Every structure is written in C-alpha cells, then in structure tokens.
Amino acid sequence: MGRVLRETLKPSTSSVSATTTSTSVTETVNGSHQFKITGYSLSKGSGIGKYIASDTFMVGGYLWAIYFYPDGKSPEDNAAYISLFIALASEGTDVRALFELTLLDQSGKERHKVHSHFGRTLESGPYTLKYRGSM
C-alpha cells in the first residue's frame, strides 16, 4: 500500500515584498501564395458551386488552400459573380488569421482587391477558423 504525505505551508509573517512580472507574446507570421489559373475563360460556365482548388501551402504552421468558384459558390450568385475563398486545410481549432485576396488580370498589372481583413477594426479582430475546411 502506498502512503500519502501531506505538507502544510504556513504563510510567512515577514514584511519582505516580492515583485513579479509576466509577458505574453503573440507572434505574427506573414506569407503569401500565388494561385495562377491558366485558361480562366474555359472555366467560366462550368456551373454554380463547382470550384478550382489551389495546391495546399503552409503559413504559420498550418496548411491552407484557395478555392475559386468561376460561376459563384451558391445559387444566389446566379453565375454573375465569382467566389473566392481561403480555407484551412490542416487540422486546427480557433486558428486566427488576417488575409487579403487579390485578383490579377492576365497581364499581371491590374490588381483587383476581392476581400481584405486587414482593414478591420481592432475590436472585430482577426477572422477565426474553427476547423479543417473552414473558409
């Protein structure tokens, strides 16, 4: 049979004061991925909800992928809009991210900002992806 030892600590009555400190450091990791769609005009008309996915890429220790829907993701888009998403491709919970999605025309000169989280107020903070596949 085992024994349980119990030690009782008594508070010190000395007048010595202690100073303590602690630090929390949140690291920011930057990365980018260029997803080139060759033959874009051929993908138009493929159907609402059909997508083209990028290869997965690593940023901040997580795998990510870009999903491009040439005719939109949902019927409300009525094939009049494209949809573009970044998705968590690895396991993770509550992964916080700020991102910007930008389209370039075929010349590579015209930039069209699709969506950016960098302009969000500090109160709304980064976007939180809850699980693998979150977009």
Per residue in 7-29, pLDDT tens? Answer: 555 665 666 778 999 988 877 78
Q: Among candidates 135, 134, 97, 104, which has minimal Cα distance to 118?
A: 97
Structure confidence by residue, pLDDT tens digits, 35-67: 888 887 788 888 888 899 999 999 888 899 999
Confidence (pLDDT) at 42 = 83
Region 74-101 average pLDDT:
80
Helix (H) or strand (E) holding 57: strand 57-59
Pairing outcome for strands 95-97 and 83-88: unpaired
Average pLDDT, the chain: 76
DSSP state letter for 105: -
Amino acid at 72: G
Residue 56: per-residue pLDDT = 94
**Residue found by looking up tokens 């085992």 in the block:** 2
101 torsion bin: left (phi>0), alpha (psi -120 to 50), beta (else): beta
CA dist., res. 37 & res. 104, Å (int): 10
Predicted local distance difference test score (pLDDT) of residue 122: 45
More confident residue, 6 or 37: 37
Determine the pLDDT at residue 81. 78
53-67, 85-99, 118-132: least confidently modelled range: 118-132
- What's the rounded mean pLDDT across residues 1-7? 53
Place of tokens 């998705």: 87
Write down the pLDDT at residue 55: 94
Residue 97's identity, in one-letter code, is: A
